[in-house]
A and B are shown apart, each in its own frame.
Chain A
Amino acid sequence: MTAAPHYDLAHALAALLATGALLSALALLGAKLVHEQVRVYAVQSALAAAFAALAGAHHGAVDLVILGALTLATKGWLIPFAINRQLTFEAAEHEVPLVIQVPTSLIAGAALAGFAYWSAGALHASGALVPAPALGMPIALVLIGFLFMTTRQNLISQIVGLLVLENGVFFATVAVAPGLPFAIGFLLLFDVITAVLFYAVLARLIVARARGTSVIDLNTLRG
């Protein structure tokens, strides 16, 4: 006879944060303006930071709490702030050209989330804080990030899509591999900042060539 799983406040909060992250990914698909998308990313990153801190408190791991604080400072504030500073008012209020419209995007996003939970269920992966399928939400974030990147023809939106995808990997790490050493989590965070910096440089170069921040015109290379 196996003991029934014990759910306490930490588990309830973890479930709440995971649900919030999934909803934020769907909200992203509904956001048409660039600055809205950046804001949704900031909220999602704050949820990721809270998730790491909660896992740290639950496992008694100070390094995870520190990682949560660093995540909040960088992904919740610094990166959105840096992206917003790159945006002129016009670009921020710019309605991003869509390959597929919002309602279709949301349906596709929900279908991807369903697929993510189904495929994660097959893996029987569970974490101390998150019951199986613990990888459902992270995989959903990765897939929705892909969907967002490929259907939003805007440079900043593509960066946001990539960062959401990375948030999915972050959630996966904290949910099922909280023992990954702090130094590695820090390396990954540093890597995200470096990558965003390089993205910003490239985006500036492209915008400086009077193309706007749309990638519609980035189609000269074919074959």
Chain B
Amino acid sequence: MTIAVLLIAGLPLAAALASWLGRGEALAAPASVAAALGCFAAALVAVFGLGAAEGERALGSIVYLDGLGGVFLLAASGVYLLVAVYSAGYLRPGVGHVRLRRLYWPLLNLFGFALVATPLADNLAVLWVAVELTTVVSAVLVTSEGTDASLEAAWKYLVIGSAGLAVGLLGIVVLYLAAAPVLGGSFSPRVTVLAPVAGSLDPGLARAAFALVIVGFGTKVGLVPMHAWLPDAHSEAPSPVSAMLSGALLAAALYAVLRIGAIAEAATGPTYVHTLLLVFGAASLVLAGLFALRQANYKRLLAYSSIEHMGIVALGIGIGGPVAAYGAFLHVLAHAAAKALAFFGAGELLSRFETREAAGVRGVMRTAPLAGVMVLAAALAIGGMPPFAVFRSELLIVSGGFARSSYFLAGLLVVVANVAFAGIYRTFHVMVLSPAEGASERAARAPQPLMGAAMLGCVAALVALGLWIPAPLDQLLQSAAGVIGART
């Protein structure tokens, strides 16, 4: 396990250093792709080969990986790999719009490091630092296109995100206080220390701690009403960065909420934690689903869809029970692949049509058939159509809701998901399948192989998980659901 963990965390760091010190982009791109590939492979070995579902420690008391962390580690490392491959194509001359080229690769790798470090951290303070690191690094990446709008978006993101995380840290301090009567005045706030005594924590302080944590870290998840930064940052960042933000960053912050929620749940009883998750989840699902319908900017539309999907995960875990929680954790993986595909497709559209406005994009299928197919596949996938994995995960959450007699919540999910799908699909349908109106040479450029490969990778993952869940993954998802969600 130690070697696997060292590779998972060390390769992105090494790639960040190499791409910072190395001269030119010729080395940075292949080094980053190789590091991301190694990181993902090591994550697969750590999660499936070394029994992470049972809960494993490594590097003394620094690393703890269990089923819950395993799901989020797979999402983070998988998106990091896909984004690295896509970026290698997107940064080619004449393709994407990235001005901060010197900083792009070092920061992307550092971002990848922070994302994979989050689910590995045993110590809650280290977990907090990892999430904070994702903020500062990704905020600079958001400005990569160098536009006024991207600077504004990055500023909002930094200010709102950091303020939220400060509240999250206060939540960790209060949790520490809740455990002090049991563990004494001086102990390390580690998951493996707190979880065994979680049932004995002061319930009042544990309640306050989780409330602060869900508001604080929930700001980074994009839960409504703390989501104000998210549409701007997702929309103005270069598309591969948007994919990383949506597919991995939101999930990393959600991991922090759930990890601390699992401890608080044991102290307060399940009702309190699950109710808060339900309230924030349902609000995010409904409001973001409706906001998505009125977006003229297709990247903002995808951003609101991300909030909606985080709401679905929170709702699934909030409903609780083995089926809905299982579906929610599958949704984390499905959302990672689907939103990466969607933002990759948005990157194709932006690089070809040079506008974020849906009205400015027409006839994609005629001018760029591969991009057109991928964009339509993304719209169908995030909308929850079969055979994609999002369909399966949402169906499981709805089934779990009915099984637990949560008819209203399950019905709400069905209605909002379908309304949002209709709105999202309609926008992309018009962009892709309407007749071309004097397509420019740039719009009709040949497909970029690396970008195409990354998108095909997303589609393959979405279809595979939609049709078949391998036994080790099944065990991992059940294990994650056992940490939080299933115990109600």
Contacts and interface: CB of A to CB of B under 8 A. Distances in A.
A187 B129 CA distance: 7
Interface stretch (A4-12, A39-47, A69-77, A172-180): A172-180
A177 to B, nearest CB: 4
B358 interface: no
B155 A206 contact: yes
B204 interface: yes
A162 interface: yes
Contact of A179 (B152, B156, B162, B187): B187
Interface stretch (B77-85, B167-175, B429-437): B167-175
**Quick one: which of B135, B186, B187 has the most chain A CB within 10 A?**
B186
B249 to A, nearest CB: 16
A169 B185 contact: no
Contact of B166 (A135, A169, A209): A169
A172 B168 CA distance: 13
A140 B360 CA distance: 49
A223 B300 contact: yes
Interface in A175-223: 176-181, 184, 187-188, 191, 194-195, 198-199, 201-202, 205-206, 209, 215, 218-221, 223
Contacts of B156: 218, 221
Contacts of A115: none
Interface string B223-238: 0000000011001100
Interface residues of B, number: 50
Contact of B155 (A124, A180, A218): A218
A57 interface: no
B62 to A, nearest CB: 11
B158 A149 contact: no
A183 B191 CA distance: 17
B159 A149 contact: yes
Contacts of A142: 166-167, 170
Contacts of B158: 195, 198-199, 202
A162 B161 CA distance: 10
A122 B204 CA distance: 9
B123 A184 contact: yes
B163 interface: yes
A223 B303 CA distance: 11
Contact of A181 (B129, B143, B188): B188
Dominant SS among interface residues on chain A: helix
B346 to A, nearest CB: 17
Interface in B124-178: 125-126, 129, 132-133, 135-136, 139-140, 143, 148-149, 151-156, 158-159, 162-163, 166-167, 169-170, 173-174, 176-177
Given A162-B163, A220-B148, A177 B170 contact: no
B151 A202 contact: yes
Interface centre among A146, A168, A177, A219 (most CB of B within 10 A): A177
Interface string A121-145: 0111100100000010011001001
Nearest to A205: B151
A193 to B, nearest CB: 11
Given A176-B173, A198-B136, A165 B163 contact: yes
A24 interface: no
A178 B185 contact: yes
Contacts of A181: 186, 188
B200 interface: no
A190 to B, nearest CB: 8
Given A125-B205, A178-B185, A195-B132, A209 B180 contact: no
Interface in B32-75: none
Interface in A54-84: none
A184 B464 CA distance: 42
Contact of B177 (A176, A188, A198, A206): A176
B324 to A, nearest CB: 32
The 5 A-B residue pairs whose C-beta atoms are closest, nearest first, are A179-B186, A184-B125, A221-B232, A177-B176, A198-B136
Interface of A: 122-125, 128, 135, 138-139, 142, 145-146, 149, 155, 158, 162, 165-166, 168-169, 172-173, 176-181, 184, 187-188, 191, 194-195, 198-199, 201-202, 205-206, 209, 215, 218-221, 223
Given A181-B188, A221-B235, 13 more contacts: A142-B166, A169-B170, A173-B173, A177-B176, A179-B185, A180-B173, A198-B136, A198-B139, A202-B139, A202-B151, A202-B155, A218-B156, A220-B149
14 contacts: A123-B208, A125-B174, A146-B163, A162-B159, A165-B163, A169-B166, A176-B174, A178-B186, A194-B133, A195-B136, A202-B143, A209-B148, A221-B153, A223-B297
